[in-house]
Structure 1
């Protein structure tokens, strides 16, 4: 199970990257850090700088075919930057077109909204995205984790860092199933 973690060069909520990353590793999978620029990315603990992480792949140089699933960590600045990068938006959309599972937490559904892939889907997020999700044609629910199978792929979403155990369990189960199919 090879999983892409798509992040901007800065603004990632660290725990929303590191906990899902470890969950993939614990499941015997291979996580890959994909960003819009080479080098390293700057994570945050809310508004305070945290650790940096080395980029494995640059989004404009990889294909969805190389991965079994996609994880979109949150942080406010991270998805805001990704939704302004044409290559990142295209990369996200390609997972839906290929029928591969996508997991997004907290503010990450902003990138899904920009990719125009939430129409007709049910998902959760940080509550401030509720109106954006609805305006994009999705149904927003306030649940710890939402697994939506109604569409070309499975979409797994969660609201916040406190939901990480349920989020990681749900997306690892789905990614493992899809990778073995």
Structure 2
């Protein structure tokens, strides 16, 4: 088993997509990348804790590798906007890869370099790549959000298009 920690806007969006990938055993929404211990949603939303909304992905590397997780990541969010994803604005919504070992660091840098070389985006990629120092699980009501609230307007307008992008590009890797 291995873990990956990624932030690309609201954690509900990433959680909904990664939960559907073959080889992903668990996805936990939470906070990382900041300077305060034991942050909670109200403190993170102020933008002053330094934490980003992230997902911690527990996965089986014999089924899905870290590079594929990153390819999904760069498909379902905009890595060219600093401190923002759509209407979600603030440093807690930044694009960030929190690496756990040197292999993850090398893979993250290689994927970003490849996407840049290929001209995948008109604007430069601003995704931060930094070591994971601590992960703090989010509150219970943030876990499995899409599964519990799929008909809510936010889920329909924001999360559903990300699920559709994942389906279009990675449909062969999704659970049915």
Which one scores higher on RCO, CA 8 angstroms, separation ≥ 6? 2
Q: Which has the higher strand share?
A: 1
Larger-gyration structure (1/2): 2
TM-score between both structures, scaled by the size of structure 2: 0.38
